[in-house]
Structure 1
Amino acid sequence: MVVEIDNEELERRAAITLECGGVQPMHNLFYTYSVRYSAERAIAAFKQYDYLLTQTNDASTLISEVQEAILHVGALSRYFWPSPSGRKKDKQQRALRMQRGEYLKNLYKLTDDSPLANRELRNAWEHFDEKMDTYLLTQMAGSFFPSPIIGSHELADSPTGKIFKLLDPEVECLVLLGQKFFFAPLRHEVERIFPEFTK
């Protein structure tokens, strides 16, 4: 049963947790398990992608598996670099999220130079519908490729080619709405932090 707590009490409790460094000791295990789950699922999806590369050249299948991995990487990233957004009156709760991120970055020895800190690919997937709205409003002419394709990422360099989704397995590049995302650094970072899941 979930107990309803008013915002004033949530703010008070967040202030207490801030004094503990962002995570209360008895809650550490909850964050640890959650972080490990996202990492394990991301690595499993990348492994499945590797396997599928040997079994099929179906663009939708392969891109879907990369998307699965990136969504888990995005979930993992949010533990370390939480969104600063929120209601202005929730000052302590917003501060708590940011401090929790710092606590977990220290715990997992991450810096802001980590590929996980880059939100571009994560946001491209999470807001694909909005990005497509804008893309279609700004691209008035050319050859449109709405179906997922496998090929060289250099196809996206053509000024007349309008590529919605392209996967270049050779260099581990995903092109979404003409924008290139090299996902190997994300994969390597997750595998570096959690080598036990790569076995």
Structure 2
Amino acid sequence: MTGLQQMILIGEISLQSQIAKKAAERLLATHEVFDNVETWCSIQSILVAAGNVSKILWPSQKYKLRGQKLRKLLGVEDNNPLASRKFRNHFEHYDERIEEWFESNSQGAYIDLSMNPSLKESSFPVYPL
């Protein structure tokens, strides 16, 4: 990897980090005056930006060495939370989850645009990440 490649990729990591930060600020701003669309817009922006950084630092097998070099250069540990894309993929592949749910379940309750951490997972069906 050349110095120019490193500079470009680090620049993209910086940009995506700024995007995630701005989205987090917007998310906090909606706390007092709840706006459902703005809340989910901010969450989605954070997930996409974090996913983009994740793909740069933990790329496909073909570019694995590049990812290792960048992580070492930036001091990013292999166990960094961005290494796992399960949570982001849970949202990104929403359509597939819906299809799979209805293939195996003929009935059930549907709740969208809602997260309630006070509910225990055992009290409702949870689609695995």
- Normalising by structure 2, what TM-score? 0.85
Measure how far apart 1:78 and its partner are: 0.6
In structure 2, relative to structure 1, the CA distance for the partners of 1:27 and 1:140 (3 Å cut) is same
CA distance, structure 1, for counterparts of residue 12 and residue 45 of structure 2? 17
Q: How far off is 1:108 after superposition?
A: 1.5
* RMSD value, Cα: 2.2
Per residue, is there more helix in 1 or in 2?
2
> Cα offset for 1:153?
4.8
Q: Distance in 1 between matches of 2:74 and 2:127?
A: 30
Instruction: Quote the residue 2:17 is aligned against.
Output: 39
Contact 2:36 2:113 in 1 (8 A): yes
- My pick for the range that moved more, 59-68 or 112-121, is 59-68
Preserved CA contact (<8 Å) 2:6 2:70: no
Q: Does 1:118 align with 2:76?
A: no
Deviation at 1:116, TM superposition (A): 0.5
Name stretches of at least 5 consecutive residues in structure 2 with no aligned partner: none
Residue of structure 2 in register with 1:131 after alignment: 97
| Paired-residue identity, % | 20
TM-score by length of 1: 0.58
**For 1:82, which of 24, 43, 59 is the aligned residue?**
59
Alpha-carbon separation, structure 2, partners of 1:137 and 1:60: 29
Runs of 4 or more above 4 Å deviation: none
- Which has the higher Rg, Structure 1 or Structure 2? 1
List runs of 5+ in structure 1 lacking aligned partners. 1-22, 85-93, 163-177, 182-199
- The residue that corresponds to 2:32 in the other structure is 54
1:16 matched residue in structure 2: none
Post-superposition offset of 1:111: 1.8
Higher strand share: 1
Contact 1:153 1:180 in 2 (8 A): no
Q: Matched residue pairs, number? A: 129
SS of 2:96's equivalent in the other structure is helix
